[in-house]
Amino acid sequence: MKLTTPRGIRDIPPDEYEAMLEIFDAFREKCRLYGFRLMEPATIEKFEVLALKSGEEIEKEIYAFRDKANRRLGLRFDLTVGLTRYVVSNPQLQKPVKLAAYSVQWRYDEPQRGRYRSFYSWDIEIYGGEQILSAAETIIFTDDLLSSLGLKNYSTKISDRRLVERVLREVFHIDDPLPIMRILDKWGKKDEDELVKLMIELGVSEEIARDIIHTFFYSQEVPESEEKNELSQLLDILRDAGVDSAEIDLSIVRGLDYYDGIVFEVRPSNETLALVGGGNYSALVKTFGGNFNAFGAAGGVERLLMYINRESIDTRRIYIIPIGGATPRDALLVAKKLRGLGIPTDYPLTTRGLSKTIKYAEKQGYRYVLFLGPQELREGIYTLKDLATGEQDKYSIEELAEILTQ
Ligand code: AMP
């Protein structure tokens, strides 16, 4: 038997997981500041709930299965569907309601750099707010979160699916714009000629296909319309609020079928990989039987980690090294005292020579080692060595607590 994980599913090792936890901490703090209440939507949904908007087709893209009683189920592919089902099925919730979640989800995506079959995301949703205000609040939150995590050089691209749809219908006379929009969403993943080919397969002439691409990806020149005005209004609000990364980009159409208004994506500059995606989806709410607006955003956590500096190791940690006859059992008791004072401390669980033990502590990322010999035990004064600078000095437990918990 090969001890490997299923395709596209992986272990998240401690360093990376600690960095992820830092992102979640920052996210929780922003939720508190902006008034989003956190919850955990169901991990498994009835297949029919997951398929409500996109239809049976969705089965190919998700983990779908039958339980032992032959019920059709699926692992959630995002957090939005579950949160929306929750809000629609709890009409007593007073709107606008602002909800948030951060958790794992599963998609039967083709694994590649930054694309897994199980991944974490953070997610915020506003139910029952006006579209432009909800869009502004969501995008301001997103920009605040990303910049506070140290992300640099990114753009927040805003667009409107209704505008893209209108241009396809009115300028290019396409009766059914949705399949074309799905092709436009593949920009960056497929090259221009491939997109043209896909459009030709749908019955569009090559000339029009090239014109469509020119309009959305190069000139961005579209006729005046209500949606275009709304986008300019939104951009004004965002600029006033200091979201310098914001720009209108009509090539953003978003892949998921449930968006029906303003949409946005955050991408590292000069890249097509999305760090965050979001938009308006009142049509999804309608399919679920509700009648209120909905706007939200979700960001992939593994992807974010590819672009921010991670510094997750707690550099104050101490590793105790018993010397001159002191035993791990003595170390255990000193560790208990230090831990009680709030200092992360560890000690050897196997007996090894001095240099090997120091090497181990270094490799594990401990900043300090504390030498524990019979004299130290008698006097309660310990030698602390800073592995980063090589300096060492003697301290009592109380002094250690004072300098290491500052
Ligand atoms: P979406 O719901 O498709 O907008 O996805 C939300 C965010 O999750 C995207 O902006 C990505 O950052 C991230 N994401 C989507 N699919 C994957 C995947 N297969 N693996 C890792 N991250 C993903």
Domain boundaries, the chain: 14-151+271-305, 318-404
Instruction: Indicate whether 314 pLDDT > 60.
Output: no
Nearest ligand 1 atom to the CA of 80 is 2
* C-alpha 14 to ligand 1 mean position (Å): 22
Instruction: Indicate whether 101 pLDDT > 70.
Output: yes
Q: Tokens at residue 53, please? A: 């908007």
Q: Tokens at residue 93, please? A: 């919730």
- pLDDT recorded at residue 406: 66
- Taking Cα atoms as reference points, which of 75, 71, 97 lies closest to residue 86? 97
* Ligand 1 lining (C-beta closer than 6 Å): 78, 107, 109, 114-116, 119, 121, 255-256, 274-277, 298-300, 302-303
- pLDDT recorded at residue 114: 87
What is the four-CA torsion angle of 393, 398, 403, 406, rounded to 10 degrees? 170
Q: What's the CATH superfamily of 14-151+271-305? A: Bira Bifunctional Protein; Domain 2 (3.30.930.10)
Mean pLDDT of 305-316: 69
- Judge whether 85 and 45 are in contact, CB under 8 Å: yes
Mutate to test the pocket of ligand 1, among 58, 83, 119 (most ligand atoms within 8 A of CB): 119
* C-alpha 374 to ligand 1 mean position (Å): 56
- pLDDT recorded at residue 223: 85
Nearest ligand 1 atom to the CA of 256 is 3
Instruction: Indicate whether 285 pLDDT > 90.
Output: yes
53-57, 95-99, 262-266, 378-382: segment of lowest average pLDDT: 53-57
Give the rounded percent of residues in the chain with a pLDDT score beyond 90. Answer: 76
The per-residue pLDDT for range 134-153, each reduced to its tens digit, is 999 999 999 999 999 999 99
Distance CA 134, CA 148 (A): 21
Mean pLDDT of 99-118: 95
Cα-to-chain-centroid distance, residue 148: 14
Q: Whose CA is nearest to atom 4 of ligand 1?
A: 277
Distance CA 105, CA 33 (A): 26
Distance CA 76, CA 252 (A): 24
* C-alpha 106 to ligand 1 mean position (Å): 10
Please report which confidence band the pLDDT of residue 220 belongs to, taking 50, 70 and 90 as the band edges: confident
Name the range with the highest mean pLDDT among 119-128, 246-255, 354-363.
Answer: 119-128
- pLDDT recorded at residue 110: 93
Please report which confidence band the pLDDT of residue 264 belongs to, taking 50, 70 and 90 as the band edges: very high
Where is pLDDT greater, at 295 or 56?
295
- pLDDT recorded at residue 311: 57
The per-residue pLDDT for range 335-355, each reduced to its tens digit, is 999 999 888 899 999 888 889
**C-alpha angle 139-143-149 in degrees, rounded to nearest 5:** 145
* Mean pLDDT computed over every residue of the chain: 92
* C-alpha 112 to ligand 1 mean position (Å): 12
Instruction: Report the CATH fold assignment for 318-404.
Output: Rossmann fold (3.40.50)
Instruction: Indicate whether 281 pLDDT > 70.
Output: yes
Q: Whose CA is nearest to atom 16 of ligand 1?
A: 115
Please report which confidence band the pLDDT of residue 318 belongs to, taking 50, 70 and 90 as the band edges: very high
- pLDDT recorded at residue 53: 79
Please report which confidence band the pLDDT of residue 255 belongs to, taking 50, 70 and 90 as the band edges: low
- pLDDT recorded at residue 401: 86
Instruction: Indicate whether 91 pLDDT > 70.
Output: yes
